[in-house]
Amino acid sequence: MSESTTLHERVVIIGSGPAGWTAAIYSARAEMNPFVIEGGISRTMIPGGQLMFTTEVENYPGFKHGVDGQTLMLDMKEQALRFGTRVLTEDVVEIDPAQYPFRLVTTGGTEVFADAVIVATGANAKWIGLANEERLAQSGGGVSACAVCDGALPHFRNQVLAVVGGGDTAMEDALYLTKFAKEVVIVHRRDELRASKIMAERALANEKITFAWNSVVTEVFGDDVITGLRLQDTVTGEERELEVGGLFVAIGHEPNTGFLQDVVDLKDNGYVKTPIPWRTQTSVPGIFAAGDVMDDYYRQAVTAAGTGCMAALDAERWLAHGGVDAHPGEVAAGH
C-alpha cells in the first residue's frame, strides 16, 4: 500500500499467531469484516509467530499424530481468509488511544482507523544469542524455548538434556523434562538459583537433575541436530564441552509491546494488563488483548487461541452495545 493509503475498519487485529487468527475467524464469522495486520519479517519473528519455528506440535487438540507448526498456522490463516479476513503484512508502529476511531500507523505508512482493536502480537523468547543456537531452533534441530511444547517429542527421550536458566521457569522446565530425559543438566551463570525456594528445592532434590554452576553456553555444536555445548566457567574462564541431545533455553520472554508504551496499561514485566479477570479488555475501552502478549503464565498455543476467541467475542459485544458512543469520553480518558 502507498504512504497515502487510509482505511477505516470495524475490527483491526494486530498479530498473526494462534490468538490473532482465532480472533479473525470468530470476527469474520460474526460478519465484522476483520482486517489483520499480521506483522513483517525480522530476525526473530515472522508472520505466524513462534509456531512458525516449531517443526512438530503434539499437544494441540485435534491432531492425533501431531502437526507441523507452520502447517498449523498457515491452515489457521486459510480458515480466516475463507471467511473474508483481509491481511496486511506490515508492523504497527503507532496507536493513538485518545482519538476515536483509533488511529493506527504501520511501517509502510498505511493509516488505519479502527472502531475496535485486538492486540495479539505475542512474545519473543529470549535466546542466548549464538548463531547455531538460533539456526537449530528454527530448523527443529533440538534447540527449543518451550519444554512443555517440545520436551515429549521422541528425539528428546532418554537423552541428556540441558536447560539454561536459574529462575522458576527453568526449574519447571527441568522438572518436566525429567519425565522423558535420561538426565537434565541445568546450566546457570551463578552459584545459586534465582528460583523461588520451593522450586529450587524440588530441582535440587530430583535425582535426574544435575547442575553446571557458574557456567554459560558459548557455543552450540551440531549440523542437522544438536550434539553438544561448550560451557565457560564465569569465575575461572575455563571451558569444557558437554554432550547433549537437546537444549532448552529458559531465560524468559519479551512481550511484543514496544509500540504500546503510553497506549494501554502494561504490567511491570511489559505484558498487557487486563484489569478484569477472564476478560480481554485493556485499560482503554475498545482495545482488547489476546495470546502471549497478555499471558505471562501459560504461553501455550491452545490458550492463545482460546483468548483470541474471547477477544473477538468481547470486541463484538462491545461494538454491539454501542462501543465508544455508548460511553462518551471513556476512550479519550484512556487509563
At 17-76, the pLDDT tens digits run 999 999 999 999 999 999 999 998 775 678 888 888 776 788 899 999 999 888 999 999
Rounded distance between C-alpha atoms, residue 289 and residue 310, angstroms: 9
Write down the catalytic residue from 91, 115, 150, 292. 150
Residue 115 annotated as catalytic: no
Rounded distance between C-alpha atoms, residue 95 and residue 108, angstroms: 14
Sheet holding 239-243, edge to edge: 215-221, 228-233, 239-243
Among 101-110, 147-156, 193-202, the range scoring the smallest mean pLDDT is: 147-156
The domain segmentation of the chain, as residue ranges, is 6-124+253-333, 127-249
Report, at the CATH architecture level, how domain 127-249 is classified.
Answer: 3-Layer(bba) Sandwich (3.50)
Rounded distance between C-alpha atoms, residue 146 and residue 248, angstroms: 7
Q: Which three cell numbers stand for residue 214?
A: 557458574
Residue 146 annotated as catalytic: yes
Under the banding of pLDDT at 50, 70 and 90, the label for residue 252 is confident
CATH number of 6-124+253-333: 3.50.50.60
pLDDT at 178 (0 to 100): 97
Q: Which three cell numbers stand for residue 173?
A: 522446565
Under the banding of pLDDT at 50, 70 and 90, the label for residue 2 is very low
Is residue 190 a contact partner of residue 235, using CB atoms and an 8 Å limit?
A: no
* Amino acid (1-letter code) at residue 262: D
**pLDDT tens across 194-236, in order?**
999 999 999 999 999 999 999 999 999 999 999 999 999 999 9
Rounded distance between C-alpha atoms, residue 314 and residue 38, angstroms: 20
Beta pairing partners, 221? 228
Write down the catalytic residue from 149, 292, 295, 314. 149
Helix or strand (DSSP H, E) at 212: strand 209-212
Rounded distance between C-alpha atoms, residue 277 and residue 62, angstroms: 28
Considering the entire predicted model, what is its pTM? Answer: 0.79
* ∠ CA 259-264-267, rounded to 5°: 95
**Are 6-124+253-333 and 127-249 in the same CATH fold?**
yes
pLDDT at 189 (0 to 100): 97
Beta pairing partners, 230? 219, 241
Residue 149 annotated as catalytic: yes
Write down the catalytic residue from 68, 75, 115, 146. 146
Q: What are phi and psi of 99, to 5 degrees?
A: -105, 135
